[in-house]
Homo-oligomer: A and B are copies of this chain.
């Protein structure tokens, strides 16, 4: 009997001891990080809430109780019964039965009606059909991405159960080693922006954090083939943790499955879905540009199938000796500061991922309050000594001025932007400005994946700021539904028409002019001196965006980018909209961090930015700091 099986036997014995004989326990299994108890008496179990708490504390595991499949009505039958029970005015749109969990997700326009007085309707449902109802609000904008992901996961539920069981056994295995140490290995994004990838390792466990591409580079990937990573085989890594969905952090996660990786990916639910959206777009862009994509879309599906979504604040076992907790990072939807608790009080490391320190229109500022942290791995995108950015109010004023000027000249405003995050922030700014009459009403065209990314935002309102959530759920006040927003879905013909038309604003991907529909817009509008090209985000070295900021005045166009058009547009940079904390924000993040970290690794920034930040955090705040190179390993205990 394996040590896991033996240990599971012990767990079962403990459960049998604790659970009163009148409540049945039909099975106990590991499923990813959770211990799942199946019972034929889910209601009795649920009524005895102290019982679950006692078990969790005794076993030191996260426990989920599920009805035994035997007590569930068949879905077709249950659906009819449930639709009968719920009043029609609830506007039930959809029912999804999750056989593996015994849950039925009820999507409705008016969740309150579904729940009923003090949950009475929900209780009626369980009594009638056995299933546990979960009620979600129908998102105001339908996201095909989210829909596809959910349908896919439902279709793959058997594979998924196998994966979760395997991962669960892996997590709950006995540690093998008597040694104790914690190491971080840098595989990318050190003294550079892009190809984020780190390993945190202990004698028993190796966890990969992020696996991104490097925009503007000639295919530079993280150093995945060193022995510390996958050089020793595709399953040398126990788990992958994804801070957020931007491609410089996520693009090569599916590639790991191409290599044969077969383990879990931990991230928030929106990060999972946005990773799907962005990596599929990444494959499409590569194909459009005549490059061979490094993997095919099947691998994106594998990545999604292996993802175990976590919510902010949940402390989760991801290995025998590592607990992971995700916290809001304020950068994009679902972005996380990842906190690793290693061993039993041995060591704590927080990876910032990309952070925004201050609140924005979309998100609260990044969390920097933890039970314990000894080492912080900190992004340094704007860590340079002069990387102070104007505050959001001034930036908004400047943006409005640019729009006004372009309108006065009958020109257009082209804003290259990441589909996820900055686009939605800008939509909120522009919608308000037009509503208040600060700038003339004009169409705002959304190209690339922006509309779809916006839809994903409205599907996960709990990741947005409270006041924005409220507005989204009020059809009349939902800023994203304002009529000036136009989703470009007519291809180059529609673009041509818009280019030939009146003043307008265009938000288009990619954000650093490394491909995507923005290249068509540059070809169309580039030569128009009345229009304005407006950068609102960080332009990494090697990207066309960076070159234009430094004075390049022509744009490669056409197939293979062999021709050029002159760039006659005015070129503007409005720097307060970045999703990244500026120098001040990074300093504040550290200064107000609780507890104060002992060591900081400054990563994810140009050489000078990481060194400047490292040196000034050391001098001003007296913390041991490092500006690592790629491929180094630091030992902490």
A633 is an interface residue with CB less than 8 A from chain B:
yes
Contacts of A161-195 to chain B: CB distance below 8 A: 179, 181, 183, 185
Q: How far is the CA of A127 from the CA of B227 in the complex (A)?
A: 54
Residue of A203, A227, A228, A236 with most chain B CB atoms under a 10 A cut-off? A227
A: interface residue count bin: 20 to 34
- The segment from A361-369, A432-440, A624-632 that touches chain B is A624-632
Residue on B nearest A190 in the bound complex, by CB: B635
CB proximity of A181 to chain B, nearest CB, Å: 6
Binary interface encoding of chain A residues 280-322 relative to chain B, with 1 for a CB under 8 A from any of its CBs, else 0? 0000000000000000000000000000000000000000000
Within 8 Å CB of A203, what residues of B?
225
Q: How far is the CA of A232 from the CA of B228 in the complex (A)?
A: 9
Given the known interface contacts A227-B236, A231-B227, A231-B232, the answer about A632 and B634 at a Cβ–Cβ threshold of 8 Å is yes
A20 is an interface residue with CB less than 8 A from chain B:
no
A233 is an interface residue with CB less than 8 A from chain B:
yes
Q: How far is the CA of A632 from the CA of B227 in the complex (A)?
A: 14
Within 8 Å CB of A181, what residues of B?
631
* Choice from B183, B233, B632 contacting A635 with Cβ under 8 Å: B632
CB proximity of A231 to chain B, nearest CB, Å: 6
Query: Are A185 and B633 in contact, with the CB atoms below 8 A?
Result: yes
* Choice from B228, B630, B634 contacting A227 with Cβ under 8 Å: B228
Within 8 Å CB of A232, what residues of B?
227, 231-233, 236
Binary interface encoding of chain A residues 608-637 relative to chain B, with 1 for a CB under 8 A from any of its CBs, else 0? 000000000000000000000111111100
Within 8 Å CB of A226, what residues of B?
228
Query: Are B631 and A183 in contact, with the CB atoms below 8 A?
Result: yes
CB proximity of A180 to chain B, nearest CB, Å: 11
* Choice from B179, B231, B236, B631 contacting A633 with Cβ under 8 Å: B631
Q: How far is the CA of A232 from the CA of B227 in the complex (A)?
A: 7
Q: How far is the CA of A185 from the CA of B226 in the complex (A)?
A: 13
CB proximity of A327 to chain B, nearest CB, Å: 28
Within 8 Å CB of A630, what residues of B?
635
Within 8 Å CB of A629, what residues of B?
635
Contacts of A194-231 to chain B: CB distance below 8 A: 203, 206, 223, 225-228, 231
Within 8 Å CB of A179, what residues of B?
223
CB proximity of A190 to chain B, nearest CB, Å: 9
Residue on B nearest A223 in the bound complex, by CB: B179
Q: How far is the CA of A225 from the CA of B225 in the complex (A)?
A: 18
Binary interface encoding of chain A residues 317-361 relative to chain B, with 1 for a CB under 8 A from any of its CBs, else 0? 000000000000000000000000000000000000000000000
Within 8 Å CB of A185, what residues of B?
633
Q: Which 4 A-B pairs have the closest CB atoms?
A: A232-B232, A633-B633, A227-B227, A629-B635
Binding site for B on A (CB under 8 A): 179, 181, 183, 185, 203, 206, 223, 225-228, 231-233, 236, 629-635
Please name 7 pairs of A and B residues whose Cβ atoms are closer than 8 Å in the assembled complex, sorted by A.
A228-B228, A231-B232, A232-B232, A629-B635, A631-B635, A632-B632, A632-B635
- For the complex with contacts A232-B233, A232-B236, A631-B635, 18 further pairs of A-B residues with Cβ separation under 8 Å are A179-B223, A181-B631, A183-B631, A183-B632, A226-B228, A227-B227, A227-B228, A227-B231, A227-B232, A227-B236, A228-B228, A228-B633, A231-B232, A232-B232, A631-B633, A632-B632, A632-B633, A632-B635
